[in-house]
């Protein structure tokens, strides 16, 4: 029984670097995939807060003019104005 435990521990220690490597890679991939979406969401949520600083509004909602009318509009405008990276 003792030999089985030591083999299991040795096996777990041998797999640990791979586990950590793939955990880091998956976290990086998730971050790369979600960060642009988070930027677009934040821009849409805060567009009314910065309305006085915006020079070229494009859509009017109610009494305010806003630069983004939706998610895809915001994405296209951000890429056009600031670039992809």
What pLDDT digit, counting tens, does each position of 12-55 carry? 899 999 999 999 999 999 999 999 999 999 999 988 776 656 55
Lowest mean per-residue pLDDT among 14-18, 56-60, 66-70, 77-81: 56-60
**How far is it, in rounded angstroms, from Cα 56 to Cα 68?**
11
Which DSSP symbol is given to 59? E
**How far is it, in rounded angstroms, from Cα 52 to Cα 49?**
8
pTM above 0.75, yes or no: no
Name the helix (H) or strand (E) containing 85.
none
């Amino acid at each position: 029984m003792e030999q089985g435990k030591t083999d299991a521990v040795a096996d777990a220690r041998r797999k640990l670097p791979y586990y950590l490597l793939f955990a880091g890679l998956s976290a990086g991939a998730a971050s790369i995939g979600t960060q642009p979406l988070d930027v677009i969401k934040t821009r849409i949520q805060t567009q009314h807060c910065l309305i006085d600083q915006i020079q070229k509004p494009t859509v009017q909602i109610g009494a305010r003019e806003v630069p983004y009318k939706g998610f895809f509009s915001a994405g296209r405008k951000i890429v056009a104005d600031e670039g992809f990276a």
